[in-house]
Amino acid sequence: MLLIVRKDLKMGKGKIGAQCGHATLGAFERAMKQPRSAAWIAHWQKFGQKKVCLQVSGEDELRLCGAFLADAGVPVYIVADAGHTQVDPGTETVLGAGPAPSAIIDAVTGPKGTMPLRLLN
């Protein structure tokens, strides 16, 4: 599973953690509704529920990543924040993608992929 965080929002570490939690659950629930994802979910649950956190510069890159992943058949969920703390209501903060096979995600995100991703630091 990928968790892609918007760097431009300058969210605190706790806020990022909470938003990643929302993204994980949202993506998982989306995957549960897709019949082809059943085997992906079972594998993900059996082998440690891997999550990789990455960052993008802003909303346009976040949406672009979501489009690339959705086109590859990966379940995608974008968190729209409630706006109670650090960002305005409706702000898209984190994208959750997967669970899906590493081969599919790597084809989109890897060195030859087309997504503008960087490791979250």
Q: Tell me the pLDDT of the chain averaged across its residues.
A: 91
> pLDDT tens digit string along 72-121?
999 999 999 999 999 999 999 999 999 999 888 888 777 655 566 655 55
CA distances 56 to 35, 38, 43, 49, 119, Å, are 30, 29, 28, 23, 9
Q: Identify residue 61 by its one-letter amino acid code.
A: E
pTM given for the model:
0.89
> pLDDT tens digit string along 12-60?
999 999 999 999 999 999 999 999 899 999 999 999 999 999 999 999 9
Which domains are delineated in the chain? 2-119 (3.40.1490.10)
Q: How far apart are CA 33 and CA 29, in angstroms?
A: 7
81: alpha, beta or left? (left if phi > 0; alpha if psi -120 to 50): beta
pLDDT at 120: 56
- % the chain with pLDDT above 70: 91
Q: What are the residues whose beta carbons fall under 8 Å from the beta carbon of 39, sequence distance 6 or more? A: none
pLDDT at 114: 57
